[in-house]
């Protein structure tokens, strides 16, 4: 009868009564039923520790001892802010840790939630997570320190110290010495201004800021803890502005109220001081043992003061019981000890955990404490051998006793009492020297007694009737009985082939018998007797006999009877008999022979993960049809679970006349069974049953607990590849030292980039990541508040925890931060955290921009084209445009222009996710007015509907013009060399096409004349045709229209072509330049000759031998020198010719000309000499 217990309000014990009213029966339970205090639920873990205030974030919570959940609505999750604002999160899923637990029982569960957004949800680093069951709202569990993060604000996304401690926004620092500390900032909009810890500004050793990626970094040295015996947690701030206000303290980071208290932008972090001088256990063997003590513990300890002998240390269990300490090795870095546990009182408890204190006597301020679990023990017989002896006695028996109260120092063999078959054993007891109180080994000799099963009692003589007395059964056999020697034939065909023999070996066979008979008697008419041939050697007889042929199948009992050969001896003795079971079967029928192994493990739980243990089973079948293959065979366990048939091997095959000689091995992969059970296994093939047998499933050892006890980690992959054959626990191979695991490596990621909208399936190949199922890994894209989790689709691993490789497939989420329009490379972290394994490997992934809407033509050149032009190159720069992988694939970039569509780009200059640059060759139609034509550019995959457009101006035929000329002004009395740049002439124009005419004009615009020889006669003219010296084209060779035509025409006006009468006032030269039908004009102003200048030296040469002579004179003529120049009455006058001073003889002035007559100085060398005239 099953009944769910009722709910009661408080703990108590009641004695239930089973009432059966129909028969007036009331049965009281034999023992009271106790309602215990329900354990309080506990939040064991939260992942991640923060959520986004602007978008829902998936968060996983692990709960212990939570009331049974049958629907998501049973669980309430609230987020509570420091101001008591409470907002409920959405529970999306739950998973029971133990799938076999009753649904409504108190149990461990994992739940998944989506963090809330909207009203009341603000940025805070001190949000409390509250979880409770809707039916048990007073039994709440809490998690403090959950963070709601505004992704637009700067956040401390990583911290590290010089000794390798790491964290997100918190890190452990040493208490005894300074610690170099680094903080990494994400989404920083400004450079770091200062760092405060406990309201004290820190000396920053290094700051870095990258405005493009909004990343910042600060390095400082955290001072040691203020109190040597205190290990506090303190808060700090990274500030980005100089002043935050007097109300801004680092305490606001603990309450999450910094946004209200501080008038600046800042990010909070946390420093956790730890005792870095405290001894730490590096390795230990199992920390559990029996209450009687004597358990050996090997322990390696770091930071323990160095000692030479165990006498320098003291170890105390449970405050009063002293253990033994021996030094294996000790140095300043680590110490390895051998420890033996003392006896501890169990206080009637089955197990008891006690505190152990290890102290170096010279340094009592540096103790090491740890827990040791004692187990109550029961004295028992571990084994005894042999288990049987003859009734004549004299058999030596060795007994192994567990937890027998024997002390090798004070005890002696005569303290052990033995009763054999109710009588105290008089013979001496011998104790092995290896005995101790955990395992006592002793031996005794059996007395002569009657045959039968005899009780043997072992007890301390000091307490023969106490709980340390134990009993076991010893078989005493008749010394005259015969016995079988294994193996014994147990089955055979009912109609065996003629001449086949079986053999039986018999011990204690009487020497007086030379013949024997064996009778097979069973149901179904089985009754056949065969004679055996006997061979005796040393009391061991070998009997051979022809296999019987009863003509029926079934179970029988075979009885061997031995009678004396001599009638006289036979009359005086009793026949000896021995029996065994023997089955007759149809030798031509399919028959199950055996299955190896006969027992199989169920699946097991390792660190909360279900591990399928599916060993192979080899089933031996006789007379199985030889044509059957693995695909023809089906194996079903318990009528429900179908096993995988791995192979069918026909190992022996009969001849045509053979009987019972076909042998087949069918290899199965057992199904995944979750609980201990005995299942009937049925194997069928070709429409018939081939075998039927029972298979026992047992619960395997809890290897995670066993490995944890020896500071190791259970290798679940090795366990699944090597399923245990029994429930026995072991540590070899399955328990791995997690500290020696190889460094994880990522060998391949494909693809390495994908669109920023997410959804791409990514395959990652790795080595030595300690994960063997998709639930073992957490893949995080990005970091800090914008980090998002990827959905892991599958994980396929080979190898073991020690050496493995595998492939993970996961779906890339949308780009962290949500900006899909830019190229983003983000870190991808593959994290594994189970048992004592904590591993992380970082790679990177590139998000490519996603085109949304029309392309954008960022720039265009040229923006103007001439009308009716051909093959004009136009370059465009495109954004919001897909990257073209191959620049040669010009068909990807297309355009429409001036009535023509689907124009393929002539060239793609460059293409990236940010922009694409391409060149099109365009033609324009004829037009007489300015028009605007739209150039629309698009990617061939998107089509014209997503084209980017810009206007190009199509210009009418241009008017030729002089764009520039040089010089800008002329000067009278000098030749004028003119260069004019002319635009928009016919591109075919050449030098011979030009006619250049200059018109002479006064400054007032009236015509001026100059005498010129015309037709052999001299006459005054006002217009002169000039000779064109050159025409140089300045446009590109591709220019075919007047729109782009440009060139430079060069010509000169001689000094004698300028009217002399205008030399002092200046004039205007009006130029007409004709090229075919085109005419362009411009005016060149010519300034009066007013600048001081040297005109001439007369004569221009002097004989060297006459230089300095009185008659050697040179007249120096100058224009516009001024009235005072070389006027000796007004100013000085200095003349040099070469490096010799000349003598001024006279000066004469006429209008603008001044003549100075000088006598050169004597000169010793001929040659051209530079001369200077200076005055004033």
**Whether pLDDT at 1 is above 60:** no
Look at residue 775 in the predicted model and tell me its pLDDT.
77
Report residue 357's pLDDT band, with 50, 70 and 90 as the boundaries: very high
The position carrying tokens 């075998």 is 691
Lowest average pLDDT, out of 24-28, 78-82, 304-308, goes to 24-28
Write down the pLDDT at residue 82: 79
- Is the pLDDT assigned to residue 410 strictly greater than 70? no
Q: What is the pLDDT of residues 808-846, one digit of tens each?
A: 999 999 999 888 888 889 999 998 887 778 888 999 999
Rounded CA separation 480/564 (Å): 14
The candidate with the shortest Cα–Cα distance to 239, out of 253, 255, 226, 227, is: 253
Residue 3: CB atoms within 10 Å? 7
Query: pLDDT at position 125, please?
Result: 64
Q: How much is the pLDDT for 608? A: 67
pLDDT of the residue at 580: 93
Query: Is 809 buried (19+), middle (13-18) or exposed (0-12) by CB count in 10 A?
Result: middle
Report d(CA 261, CA 68) in Å as an integer. Answer: 43
Q: Give the pLDDT of residue 680.
A: 93
Cα–Cα distance measured from residue 572 to residue 994, given in angstroms and rounded to the nearest whole number: 161
Segment 221-227 long-range contacts (CB within 8 Å, at least 24 positions apart): 221/178, 221/179, 221/180, 221/181, 222/173, 222/178, 222/179, 222/180, 222/181, 222/197, 222/271, 223/178, 224/174, 224/175, 224/176, 224/177, 224/178, 224/179, 225/175, 225/176, 225/273
pLDDT at residue 48, rounded to an integer: 76
What is the greatest pairwise CA distance in the chain?
191
Query: Is residue 869 scored above 90 in pLDDT?
Result: no
* pLDDT at position 240 over 90: yes
If pLDDT is split at 50, 70 and 90, which confidence band does 536 have? confident
327 has pLDDT over 90:
yes
pLDDT at 208 > cutoff 60 = yes
Peptide bond preceding 1149 in cis form (omega within 30 of 0) = no
Over its C-alpha atoms, the chain yields an Rg (Å, rounded) of: 55
Contacts 24+ apart (CB under 8 A), 989-992: 989/1031, 989/1045, 989/1047, 989/1075, 989/1076, 990/1031, 991/1028, 991/1030, 991/1031
pLDDT digits (tens, 9 = 90+) for 550-608: 989 999 999 999 988 888 888 888 888 999 999 999 888 899 999 999 899 988 888 76
Full 3-state SS string of 766-783: EECCCCCCHHHEEEEECC
SS3 content of the chain, % helix, strand, coil (to 5): 5, 50, 45
Beta strands in 1109-1152 (DSSP E): 1114-1119, 1134-1137, 1140-1150
Backbone angles phi, psi at 920, to 5 degrees: -115, 150
Q: Whole-number mean pLDDT of the chain?
A: 88
Which ranges of 257-406 would DSSP assign to H, the alpha helix? 258-261
For 1023, residues 6+ apart whose C-beta sits below 8 A from its C-beta are 997, 998, 999, 1000
For residue 1058, give the 3-state DSSP assignment.
coil
The predicted-structure confidence for 1004-1023, as pLDDT tens digits, reads as follows: 999 999 988 877 888 889 99
Task: Determine the pLDDT at residue 638.
Answer: 87
Which residue is listed with tokens 């567990």? 402
pLDDT: is 784 or 362 the higher one? Answer: 362
Whether residue 658 has pLDDT greater than 80:
no
Tokens of 275: 């005792």
825: which residues sit within 8 A by CB, 6+ positions away? 844, 845, 846, 847
Distance CA 6, CA 35 (A): 9
Q: Are 495 and 523 in contact, with CB atoms under 8 Å apart? A: no
Structure tokens at 801: 């925890």
**pLDDT value of residue 409:** 52
Q: Is the pLDDT of residue 392 over 60?
A: yes
- Tell me the pTM: 0.43
Residue 294, pLDDT score: 85
Give CA–CA dist 899/904, Å, rounded: 14
- Residue indicated by tokens 């509907």: 945
Contacts for 1110-1114: CB closer than 8 Å, 24+ residues apart: 1110/1159, 1112/1159, 1112/1160, 1113/1145, 1113/1157, 1113/1158, 1113/1159, 1114/1142, 1114/1157, 1114/1158, 1114/1159, 1114/1160
Least confident of 242-251, 652-661, 760-769, 959-968: 652-661
- Calpha distance 453→529 (Å, rounded): 32
Q: Report residue 485 as tokens.
A: 């020697």
Tell whether the model's pLDDT for residue 614 goes beyond 90. no
What does the pLDDT look like over 1044-1068, one tens digit per residue?
A: 899 999 999 998 899 988 888 899 9
pLDDT at 555: 93
pLDDT the model gives residue 396: 92
Instruction: Kindly state the percentage of the chain with pLDDT values over 70.
Output: 98
Query: What count of Cα atoms within 13 Å lies in the side-chain half-sphere of residue 375?
Result: 11
Looking at residue 374, its pLDDT comes to 92
Quick one: pLDDT band at residue 617, thresholds 50, 70, 90? Answer: very high
pLDDT in tens, 151-170: 778 888 888 888 777 777 88
When pLDDT is cut at 50, 70 and 90, the band that residue 282 belongs to is confident
310: helix, strand or coil: helix
Q: What is the pLDDT of residue 745?
A: 93
What's residue 1130's pLDDT?
Answer: 66
Least confident of 92-96, 205-209, 681-685, 714-718: 205-209
Query: Looking at the predicted structure, is the pLDDT value of residue 36 above 80?
Result: no
């Amino acid at each position: 009868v099953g009944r769910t217990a009722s709910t009661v309000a408080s703990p108590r014990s009641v004695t239930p009564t089973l009432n059966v009213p129909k028969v007036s029966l009331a049965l009281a339970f034999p023992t009271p039923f106790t309602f215990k205090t329900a354990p309080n639920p506990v939040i064991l873990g939260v992942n991640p520790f923060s959520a986004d205030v602007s978008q829902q974030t998936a968060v996983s919570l692990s709960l212990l001892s939570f009331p049974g959940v049958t629907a998501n609505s049973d669980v309430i999750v609230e987020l509570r802010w420091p101001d008591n604002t409470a907002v409920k999160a959405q529970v999306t899923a739950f998973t029971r840790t133990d799938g076999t637990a009753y649904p409504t029982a108190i149990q461990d569960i994992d739940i998944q939630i989506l963090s809330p957004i909207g009203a009341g949800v603000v940025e805070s680093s001190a949000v409390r997570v509250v979880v409770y069951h809707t039916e048990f709202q007073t039994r709440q569990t809490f998690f403090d320190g959950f963070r709601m993060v505004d992704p637009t604000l700067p956040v401390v996304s990583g911290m590290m110290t010089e000794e390798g401690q790491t964290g997100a926004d918190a890190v452990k620092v040493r208490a005894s010495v300074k610690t170099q500390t680094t903080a990494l900032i994400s989404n920083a909009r400004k450079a770091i201004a200062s760092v405060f810890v406990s309201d004290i500004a820190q000396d920053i050793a290094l700051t870095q800021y990258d405005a493009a990626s909004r990343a910042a970094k600060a390095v400082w040295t955290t001072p040691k803890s203020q109190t040597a015996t205190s290990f506090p947690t303190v808060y700090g701030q990274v500030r980005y502005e100089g002043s935050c206000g007097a109300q801004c303290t680092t305490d606001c980071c603990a309450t999450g109220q910094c946004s209200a208290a501080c008038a600046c932008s800042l990010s909070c972090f946390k420093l956790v001081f730890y005792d870095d001088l405290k001894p730490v256990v590096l390795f230990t063997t199992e920390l559990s043992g029996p209450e009687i003590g004597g358990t050996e513990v090997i322990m390696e300890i770091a930071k323990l003061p160095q000692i030479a002998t165990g006498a320098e240390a003291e170890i105390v269990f449970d405050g009063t019981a002293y253990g033994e300490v021996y030094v294996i090795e000790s140095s300043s870095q680590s110490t390895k000890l051998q420890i033996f546990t003392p006896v501890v009182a169990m206080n009637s408890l089955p197990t008891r955990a006690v505190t152990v204190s290890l102290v170096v006597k010279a340094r009592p301020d540096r103790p090491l404490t740890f827990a040791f679990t004692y187990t109550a023990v029961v004295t028992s017989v571990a084994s005894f051998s042999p288990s049987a002896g003859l009734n004549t006695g004299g058999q030596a028996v060795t007994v192994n006793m567990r937890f027998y109260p024997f002390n090798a120092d004070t005890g002696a063999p005569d303290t052990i009492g033995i009763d054999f078959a109710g009588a105290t054993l008089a013979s001496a007891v011998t104790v092995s020297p290896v005995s101790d109180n955990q395992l006592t080994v002793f031996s005794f000799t059996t007395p002569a007694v009657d045959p039968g099963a005899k009780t043997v009692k072992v007890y301390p003589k000091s307490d023969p009737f106490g709980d340390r007395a134990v009993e076991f059964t010893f078989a005493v056999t008749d010394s005259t009985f015969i016995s079988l020697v294994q193996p014994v034939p147990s089955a055979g065909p009912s109609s065996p082939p003629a001449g086949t023999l079986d053999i039986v070996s018999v011990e204690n066979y009487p020497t007086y018998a030379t013949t024997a008979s064996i009778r097979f008697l069973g149901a179904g008419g089985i009754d056949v007797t065969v004679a055996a041939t006997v061979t005796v050697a040393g009391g061991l007889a070998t009997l051979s006999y022809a296999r019987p042929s009863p003509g029926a199948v079934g179970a029988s009992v075979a009885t061997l009877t031995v009678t004396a050969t001599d009638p006289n001896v036979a009359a005086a003795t009793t026949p000896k008999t021995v029996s065994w079971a023997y089955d007759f079967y149809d030798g031509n029928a399919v028959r199950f022979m055996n299955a190896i192994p006969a027992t199989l493990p169920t699946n097991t739980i390792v660190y909360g993960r279900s591990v399928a243990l599916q060993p192979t089973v080899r089933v031996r079948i006789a007379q199985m049809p030889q044509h059957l293959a693995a695909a023809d065979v089906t194996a079903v366990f318990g009528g429900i679970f179908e096993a995988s048939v791995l192979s069918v091997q026909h190992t022996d095959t009969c001849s045509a006349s053979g009987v019972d000689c076909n042998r087949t091995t069918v290899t199965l992969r057992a199904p995944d069974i979750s609980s201990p059970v005995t299942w009937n296994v049925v194997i069928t093939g070709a429409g018939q049953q081939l075998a039927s047998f029972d298979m026992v499933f047992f619960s395997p050892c809890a290897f995670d607990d066993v490995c944890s006890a020896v500071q190791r980690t259970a290798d679940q992959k090795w366990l699944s590849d090597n399923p245990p054959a029994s429930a026995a626990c072991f540590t070899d191979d399955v328990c791995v030292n997690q500290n020696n695991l190889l460094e994880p490596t990522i060998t391949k990621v494909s693809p390495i980039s994908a669109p920023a909208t997410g959804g791409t399936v990514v395959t990652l190949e790795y080595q030595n990541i300690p994960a063997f199922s998709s639930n073992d890994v957490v893949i995080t894209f990005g970091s800090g508040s914008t980090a998002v989790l990827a959905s892991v689709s599958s994980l396929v691993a080979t190898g073991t925890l020690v050496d493995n490789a595998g492939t993970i497939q996961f779906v890339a989420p949308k780009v962290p931060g949500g900006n899909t329009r830019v190229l983003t490379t983000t870190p991808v972290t593959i994290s594994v955290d189970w048992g004592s394994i904590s591993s992380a490997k970082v790679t990177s992934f590139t998000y490519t921009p996603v085109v949304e809407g029309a392309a954008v033509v960022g720039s265009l050149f040229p923006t103007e084209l001439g009308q009716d032009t051909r093959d004009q190159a136009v370059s465009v720069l495109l954004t919001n445009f897909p990257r073209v992988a191959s620049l040669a694939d010009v068909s990807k970039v297309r355009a429409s222009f001036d009535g023509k569509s689907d124009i393929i780009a002539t060239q793609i200059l460059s293409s990236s996710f940010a922009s694409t640059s391409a060149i099109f060759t365009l033609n324009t139609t004829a037009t007489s007015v300015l028009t605007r034509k739209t150039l629309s550019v698009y990617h061939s995959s998107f089509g014209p509907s997503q084209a980017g457009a810009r206007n190009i101006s199509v210009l009418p035929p241009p008017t030729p013009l002089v764009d520039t000329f040089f010089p800008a002004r002329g000067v009278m009395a000098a030749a004028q060399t003119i260069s004019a740049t002319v635009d928009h002439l016919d591109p075919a124009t050449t030098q011979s096409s030009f006619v250049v005419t200059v018109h002479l004009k006064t400054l007032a615009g009236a015509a001026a004349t100059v005498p010129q020889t015309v037709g052999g006669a001299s006459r005054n003219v006002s217009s002169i045709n000039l000779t064109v010296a050159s025409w140089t084209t300045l446009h590109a060779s591709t220019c075919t229209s007047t729109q782009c035509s440009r060139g430079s025409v060069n010509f000169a006006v001689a000094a004698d072509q300028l009217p002399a009468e205008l030399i002092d006032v200046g004039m205007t030269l009006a130029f007409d330049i004709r090229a075919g039908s085109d005419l362009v004009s411009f005016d060149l102003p010519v300034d009066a000759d007013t600048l001081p200048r040297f005109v001439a030296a007369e004569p221009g040469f002097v004989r060297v031998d006459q230089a300095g002579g009185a008659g050697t004179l040179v007249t120096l003529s100058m224009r516009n020198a001024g009235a005072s120049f070389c006027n000796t009455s007004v100013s000085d006058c200095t003349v040099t010719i070469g490096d010799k001073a000349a003598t001024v003889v006279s000066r004469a002035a006429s209008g603008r000309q001044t003549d100075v007559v000088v006598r050169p100085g004597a000169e010793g060398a001929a040659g051209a000499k530079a001369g200077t005239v200076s005055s004033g």
